[in-house]
Every structure is written in C-alpha cells, then in structure tokens.
Structure 1
Amino acid sequence: MASPISTSTGLGSGLAIKDIVTSLVDSDKYAKQTQITKQTALTTTKLSGVSTLKSALDAFQTAMTNLGKTDTPAFNGFAATSSLTANITATTTNSAVAGSYAMEVTKLATSSSVASASFDATAASAIPSGTLTITQNTTNTAFDIPAGSTLQQVRDLINAKTSTSGVSANIISDGAGSRLVFGSTKTGAGTDITTSSTIAGLTIGSGDVLDPNSATSAGRIGAVAADGEMLIGGLKVTSSTNTYTTALTGVSITAVAVGKSTVTVAGNTDGLKTSLQTFVDAYNNVVKTINSLTKATADANGDLTVSAAMTGDSLPRDLLAALREQLITPGPGSKLSTLAQLGIQTAQSGGTLTFDAGKFTKAMNDKNLGSEVQQMFSGTNAENGLLARMKKAIEPYNKTGGTLDERTKSLNKTSTDLKAQQTALDIRVANLTSTLTAKYNAMDLLVGQMKSTLSSITSFFDTLNAQASG
C-alpha cells in the first residue's frame, strides 16, 4: 500500500515526518502482525501435513483393496501355471492340491446368433409399428416398436435391455438389404434365441435356419448354442461357459481355444512373498509419513526445537496406535495367527515393519503355512481378516467427512479468519498512517508559521536597533 506521506522531511520543522510516522505505525501493528504471520504459517503447514497424511492413507487403503480382491487373490497358498496359455489358463484357491494335470479343450462353449429378414436401412420408416418378444434361456423380453421406426432405433431399444434380456442387437448389411442380428450374451446349451413379432420378418422360431440368399429368410446363423467340453486326465467335463470352477478342486480353469495344455499346481512361495512385501511396504509408508509429520528436528544449536507439521498433535499418534493394534490382534486361523510367524516384526526404532525372508521361507517349507496366509489376511468373513481390520481402523480418519476432513475444514476456517484479520489490520494501518501524517503535517505547518513570525519580529527589532544606532 502506497504511503500517504508526500515528503520525507517537514519543510517547516525539518523533522523526518515519514520516518517518524512509519516507526509509530510499525510499533503499533508489530504485535498483531507477528501473531497473524506466525498463525498463518502454522496453519498452512498443518494443512499441508493433513493433506500429506490423507494421501498416505489413500495409498494404504488402495493397497489393502488390491491385496483383498476376490477375483485375483493375493495370498493364495498355491499357484497354477499352464504350459500353453493360448489354450488354457488357470487360477487356484487355498483348497487346491499340488499336482500336474493333463488337459485338453475339445469344444468351446458357444452362444446363439440369429438374424431377421432384410429391411431397407435407408428408409425413414423401415419397420412398421408392432410388438417384438425375444426369448432367451426362458426369459421373455417384450418391446413396443413405435410407428416409423428405423432399424437403428429398434437396435437401440433392444440394447437398452441387454443386461436383463441377455440379448444384444446389431445391423449387418449385404446385397439383399440390412438385417437385425441378435446375439446372446450367454453361452451353453439351452441359450438359443427365438423371437415372436407382429411385424413381418422379425419372427424367428427355434428350428429356423437363415438362408443368406433369401431376403425374406430369418433364422439361426450357424450351429445352435452348445456347452463347452474338455478332458482332465482323460475324464470328460462340461460347462455352459468356458470357465470350469468345480471340475478340479481348488482350481478355476478357463478354456481359451481348442487344444492341449498341462496345468501344474504348486506352492505359491514367491507370490506370497511378493504380496507380503507389498503389505509391509504399504504399512511402512504410512508409518514413515506419520514420523516425518510429527518428529521435531534440531535447530542450529542441535536442540530438537524445530516442529514438524503435526508435532505434538494426538491425531497421528492415535491413528498409528489403531493400526498397530491390528498387527498384534490374532487372526482367525489356528496354525497361523500372527505376522511374526511369517517373519514380519516391528522394528524397535521408527515403528516400521521388517520382513525376514529366511524365516518366511522356513514357515512355508517346514511348517506348511502357505494355505493359511490367505485366511489370515482375508479372514473367514468380511470382518475378521487383517486387511478388513486395517481398512476399518483407518476409515474414521480417511472417510468423507471423517477426522481428517473435519481437521481440514477447521484449518481452512482458521485460514479464512486470519485473512480477515490481516485485511482489518491493513485498514487500521492505512488509517493510522493517514491520521498521523495529517497531524505531523499540521504540526509542521504551524512550526513553519511560527518560524516565519519569529523571523519578522527579529527583522523588525533589527531595523529599530539600526535606526537607534544611526
């Protein structure tokens, strides 16, 4: 803000008015300005600290979620490998049994595909009004076709209900015109599509086969929907899909293409080690973040007086205590109930976790604890596994509207209040500067006038003295 003082030295008094006013104003505002500056810096630091902690918890929660995915279990005691993944892939659960299995996909599960008669796709109203009912796997889905509908509009009506009907539609054009082609989203025997309609060309019976050379023909394209078949150790198994989840205990098999492959099931030592290290790293990131936010550092004299963003704050300590409690809480397993059995322990300094690979390998090989690891981390229900307990421990802090959000809200309010105080102080300083300047300028004017009067009087008496002497 520009100073209202136009001159630095009074013309009448010779005083450094600007310097005097600045000193008086600075003295007046010093205490409040110091308070506002310190509080603003502290609030900004705390906001940054809360944001850093929240980001660390977000990353930890993401890691826990990824490790706990049911479709890609991270802590399986066994792993399945396929000698030819172009034909067969496989995954395991903890109920799997080690072994090697010769497999052959002899038939892939197929879905139904049917086509309507040909229509003129270029016509503005290719299909007259009427009704259409599509039947797939005993599910009937009815559609009311408005007058003047195009093929595209009918297609879109059908696709809007694909999730419930199990049927999708598209348009294929050939020399005879354009046909609506219906495909099943489900595979296996009994999933053939049939239709009935009041509109000519849209009725397709179960035995109808499409004649692509006839514009009026409507029916099945290719073979009927069929189950998949494969041989496991020479024994034939079937599935309505290309995934076999019950054919081999503890192994989920996916048929990719017709052909052979050997699936080997063995202990998942390397996979478990990687997953455990991921857990340890994710936990340690939170601990290191909390340590950096709470630990005071040394000043120039070596004294621990330089505070971090959350030094002395109970929030991070409470959070860390909640997490550590879950580490020492026994899991639901009988053979494996503590992390220490897997070589995971808390370091004496810093509170981070250490992972002893040698002790882990011994637990896998000598004590056969591999099949128990999944149960320890994922639990026997949705609540008693270590991953679920960890997520529950940080939820009060990290959830929307939780402790960290409320802390951020409070700090933002403090920041807003400090800005308002700074604005008020700036106005006070400007007013005080203007007032003092006016007063000192008035004083300077008065002093100038008094000097001028004194000069006139002195000159008058000097004149009298000169006349008297003459």
Structure 2
Amino acid sequence: MASISSLGIGSGLDLNGLLDQLRDAERGKLEPIAAQQQQQESRISALGSLQSAMTQFDDSVANLQNASLYESLSASGGGETLSTSVDASAQPGNYNVEVNGLATAGTLASQRIVAEPDQALTDAERTLTLEFANAPEGEPTSVDVTVAGGSTLGDIRDAINAKEGVGVTASVINDGEGSRLALMSSETGEAASVTGMTFETDFFVTDPAVTVSDPADAVEGVIDNGGQDAALSINGIAITSATNQVEEAIQGVTLDLQAEGSATLSVEQDTLKVREAVSGFVSSFNELKGTIGELTAYDAETGQAGELNGDRTVRTVESRLRSVLSGGVPGGEIGMLSEVGISLQRDGTLELDEDALSEQVSGNMAALGEFFAGGEATTGMAGRVGEALGQMLDDSGLVSRSIEGAEGRLERLGERYARMEQGVERTIDRYRTQFGQLDGMIAQMNQTSTYLTQQFANLDAQLNQGN
C-alpha cells in the first residue's frame, strides 16, 4: 500500500479537519474536570482570604491580651519647653519643670589668617593638637591630628574631619577680612568642649604674603565659647545634664529639652491606647464578618453564589466565635462584653458604645484589664477568643485542614486531567493512523479505478477499429 505523507492527499477528503473535530469532541471529556479544578482553586483562594481576615482579627485580640496595656502610662504638659517619652518603669505623678538653660556644644575658632584659599600654610608635615581640658574620666584630654606639608586651611579642616574619634567638626569661616579654622564639639556639654589648639613650632610658613593676626586682639584673636550643660529643676530640685535629653531624672521618663521656660508635666495612665485597642478589636472582627459575608453571599437574581456559600468551615468559624463572644468571663467585676460597651448585633457584627467604654477606661481600668487579659487564675475574654482562633488557625486546625483538603483534591484532579489528556492524544493518534490507512486505501482504489478506466477505453477503441 502506498505511503501517505499528508492526510487527504490520497483520498481528496478533509481528513485533517475531521481529525480536529474528533480531537475537540474527545477533549470535551476534560471540561468537567477543568470545571472542578477551577472550583477547587476558587475555594482555596477564598479559604486563604478567610484565613487572612482571621489572622488580622487574632492580632487585634493579642493587643488586648497584653496585661501591660492596662498599666501603660503617658506624659503630657511639656508644651514648647520639652517633649517626653515614658517606659514601663514610670510612676504616675505631677511635676513642675523649669528649664533654665539648654546644653550647647563648645566652639573654638583660631586667630584670623589672611590668605588666599589655595595658600599653603605649612612648610612640612606638622601636628595639630586639640585639647579637652574637662574630658570625662577615661576619655583622652587631647587628640593629635597630622597635617601634611603644603596644606591649605581647607586641607587642615579636612584632616581634622577625617580623623576618627576626634570629637569635633571643623569648618572654615571667612568674616570678610580673613579666614578662621572653626571647631565645634561633636557632643553638647561642658565636659565635651574643645578648649585649645596647639601647633608645632613653625606650623605656619613664614611667607611674607601670609599674615598671622595677633592672638591677643579680641576681634582678630582666638574665639573660645565653651559648651554648657543643660540646667533645669524638677519640683525645685536642681539638675544638670550634658545633653538636652535628660533620662531618669524622673523614673521611667525621658525629657527632651527644647527651649527655656516652665512646664507642668503629668504622668498618668494612657487611656488612649486602651480605647484604640478595644476599637481595633471591634473593627477587626467586623472586617472578618464582612469577608465572610462576601465569601458566602448568594444573589437570587443572578443565581451567583460566593465561593464558600454553604461551606462547613465557615459555619464552624462563625459558630465558635459567636459562642466565645457571647459567653462571659466569670469571677471578675466585669463579666460580659456588653458591660464594656460592646454588643453583638443581629447581623452578627459588633457595635461599640464609646461612652460606656470611656467610663470603664477612666474609672475601672484594673477591672477592664482583668476582663480582657485575665488574672492569675482566670483566662480573659481576649485569651478565650485567641485560644479559639489559634485552634482554628494552627497547622492542624480547621482552616488549615480545609485548605490542605482542597489542595489535595486539586492535585488529584490535575493527575486525572493529565491521564485523560494522554488518553485523548492516544485516541487521536489511533484515528490518525486509521485515517492514514484509509487515505492510502482510497488512493490505491483510485489508481486501480483509473487503470481500469484506461483499459476499458483502449478495449473500446480496438473494438471500434475492427468494425
């Protein structure tokens, strides 16, 4: 039988088109599996959204579970004079603060040196010694800076600034008549002040074009402004500080001095943080409820349903949380969420009564903390909600198992799809072989038909000649 290189050549039939139609018909068997894969992918995505919303709610629950929240303090009343920060060791109290002077960094400027900016001031490598007469114990009282020969005033400045741990920042200042080498201590306070600059003999070149002003001249000579410590008093007690950040003068409170003046400082319970934590708890739960509503919605007009409509996992999550939130915390002064100003609405959301919460925050903080964070022998409301969420969110919990189950089904559907797809291709290959055989057979039959037709025509011609 003749070999056919392309279907349809031998028979003249559209066998390729017929083969494509058969392939489409065979692949139609894959559509139900593809639809199931899409369904499982949508469910996995929806469960991921549910898990994310539950995790965010769990974060807000953890804030309320922190017992230190109900003991946190804040400071107020510094005004323009000072700002404050408070840590856990602070104690409530009122303080009168007088800031009499801010800490400043010491400055020291050399005598005026009249020279061109690029004028060399050294004839050889020299040493510049910076002196710190009041350096704290253990700190160096002087620092040597090596200055290369032929250095300009700018080069000297750069050499100082390049010296690690030199304790000052150098600059060049021109007052219109000449330039000075100016130093500013890196830190504030009297002890950090630079008090002198000592040069080696012949530090400056003796070029007549270079004039060194008389150091004794009050205007042209060395200018020394020593650094000052901050001076303040707290409730009449005098305090000095090398910096404008005064720590532990008041236990657990850091004062950042900003201007001279008076301030009345109050350290008291930070009720704002508690109100924000409770409000965040309510808002986060309602966001979770909104996510669940979207995932389980059903539109009767279009017949469209959310990915988790009727899903057992969602029903269990809602039931567990509703049970915990509507339950109480026995043994404490506050036993129910409603006493805090939080009520469960008919649509399943929570509503917060700000006035009722403020009343508890202002006058009953200890009981509020015990209700949410619990005590030595009791688990608070936040702990109970957190435990329920943890059981559902951990690796072996309800939500994780649901996601793993959907992922497993998706994997099995993928394997089934691959097997059926291979089966379709094998079927199409079998059809292609059969069509090739058919094409070759028809081609051979056509050749035979043509041959016979020719033979009959020749025979007929011979018969006609005989007549």
CA distance in 1, matches of 2:324, 2:343: 13
Tell me: CA distance 1:14–1:36, structure 2 relative to 1, closer, same or farther (3 Å).
same
1:84-99 residue pairs with structure 2 within 5 A?
A: 84=79, 86-87=81-82, 89=84
In structure 2, the partner of 1:335 is 333
User: Are 1:282 and 2:279 an aligned pair?
Assistant: no
Shift in Å, 1:30: 2.8
In structure 2, the partner of 1:139 is none
Say which SS state the counterpart of residue 23 (structure 1) adopts. Answer: helix
In structure 2, the partner of 1:445 is 440
Q: Is the 8 A contact 1:113 1:222 kept in 2?
A: no
Q: Is the 8 A contact 2:337 2:343 kept in 1?
A: yes
CA distance in 2, matches of 1:77, 1:117: 44
Shift in Å, 1:442: 1.6
Say which SS state the counterpart of residue 96 (structure 2) adopts. Answer: strand
Q: Is the 8 A contact 1:104 1:261 kept in 2?
A: yes
Structure 2: which amino acid aligns with 1:340?
Answer: S
In structure 2, the partner of 1:43 is 40
User: Are 1:242 and 2:244 an aligned pair?
Assistant: no
Match of 1:261 among 263, 268, 276: 263
Shift in Å, 1:333: 6.8
Deviations 1:156-199 (A, max 9, x none): xxxxxxxxxxxxx886689xxxxxx999xxxxxxxxxxxxxxxx
Deviations 1:336-375 (A, max 9, x none): 22111233211212x111224465567779xx55653333
Tell me: CA distance 1:46–1:243, structure 2 relative to 1, closer, same or farther (3 Å).
farther
Shift in Å, 1:297: 1.9
RMSD: 5.6
Say which SS state the counterpart of residue 306 (structure 2) adopts. Answer: coil
CA distance in 2, matches of 1:393, 1:355: 22
Q: Percent identity?
A: 20
Tell me: CA distance 1:47–1:301, structure 2 relative to 1, closer, same or farther (3 Å).
closer
Shift in Å, 1:284: 0.9
Q: Which has the higher contact order (CA 8 A, sep 6+)?
A: 2
User: Are 1:230 and 2:234 an aligned pair?
Assistant: yes
Q: Is the 8 A contact 1:332 1:375 kept in 2?
A: no
Match of 1:103 among 88, 91, 96: 96
Structure 2: which amino acid aligns with 1:372?
Answer: A
Tell me: CA distance 1:397–1:229, structure 2 relative to 1, closer, same or farther (3 Å).
farther
Q: Is the 8 A contact 1:242 1:255 kept in 2?
A: yes
Q: Is the 8 A contact 1:53 1:289 kept in 2?
A: yes
Tell me: CA distance 1:382–1:389, structure 2 relative to 1, closer, same or farther (3 Å).
farther
Structure 2: which amino acid aligns with 1:256?
Answer: D
CA distance in 2, matches of 1:389, 1:454: 91
Q: Is the 8 A contact 2:98 2:233 kept in 1?
A: yes
CA distance in 1, matches of 2:143, 2:240: 37
In structure 2, the partner of 1:130 is none
What TM-score, normalized to structure 1?
0.59
Tell me: CA distance 1:261–1:333, structure 2 relative to 1, closer, same or farther (3 Å).
farther
Q: Is the 8 A contact 1:78 1:265 kept in 2?
A: yes
Greater CA deviation, 352-361 or 41-50?
352-361
CA distance in 2, matches of 1:64, 1:457: 94
In structure 2, the partner of 1:298 is 299
Deviations 1:13-60 (A, max 9, x none): 4543224323333343433x1243123212321232232223223322
Match of 1:28 among 26, 29, 49: 26
CA distance in 2, matches of 1:5, 1:323: 70
In structure 2, the partner of 1:384 is 379
Tell me: CA distance 1:364–1:224, structure 2 relative to 1, closer, same or farther (3 Å).
closer
In structure 2, the partner of 1:352 is 349
In structure 2, the partner of 1:311 is 309
Q: Which of 1 and 2 has greater Rg?
A: 2
Tell me: CA distance 1:70–1:346, structure 2 relative to 1, closer, same or farther (3 Å).
closer
Tell me: CA distance 1:383–1:360, structure 2 relative to 1, closer, same or farther (3 Å).
closer
Shift in Å, 1:223: 10
Q: Is the 8 A contact 2:230 2:240 kept in 1?
A: no
In structure 1, the partner of 2:115 is none
Q: Is the 8 A contact 1:244 1:253 kept in 2?
A: yes
Say which SS state the counterpart of residue 256 (structure 1) adopts. Answer: strand
1:24-423 residue pairs with structure 2 within 5 A?
A: 24-31=22-29, 33-66=30-63, 73=69, 81-82=76-77, 84=79, 86-87=81-82, 89=84, 101=94, 103-105=96-98, 114=136, 115-118=139-142, 213=196, 230-231=234-235, 242-243=247-248, 253-257=253-257, 259-263=261-265, 274-293=276-295, 295-298=296-299, 302=303, 306-331=304-329, 334-349=332-347, 351-357=348-354, 360=357, 368-369=363-364, 372-380=367-375, 384-399=379-394, 404=399, 408=403, 411-412=406-407, 415=410, 418-423=413-418
CA distance in 1, matches of 2:406, 2:438: 47
What TM-score, normalized to structure 2?
0.59
CA distance in 1, matches of 2:320, 2:146: 68
Structure 2: which amino acid aligns with 1:22?
Answer: D
CA distance in 2, matches of 1:358, 1:213: 65
Structure 1: which amino acid aligns with 2:299?
Answer: A
Shift in Å, 1:447: 1.6
Structure 2: which amino acid aligns with 1:380?
Answer: G
Q: Which runs of 5+ in 2 are unaligned?
A: 104-133, 148-163, 171-184, 199-225
Aligned residue pairs: how many? 380
CA distance in 1, matches of 2:229, 2:269: 42
Tell me: CA distance 1:223–1:456, structure 2 relative to 1, closer, same or farther (3 Å).
closer
In structure 1, the partner of 2:14 is 16
Structure 2: which amino acid aligns with 1:280?
Answer: V
In structure 1, the partner of 2:223 is none
Tell me: CA distance 1:408–1:25, structure 2 relative to 1, closer, same or farther (3 Å).
same
User: Are 1:435 and 2:440 an aligned pair?
Assistant: no
Q: Is the 8 A contact 2:65 2:382 kept in 1?
A: yes
CA distance in 2, matches of 1:211, 1:362: 57
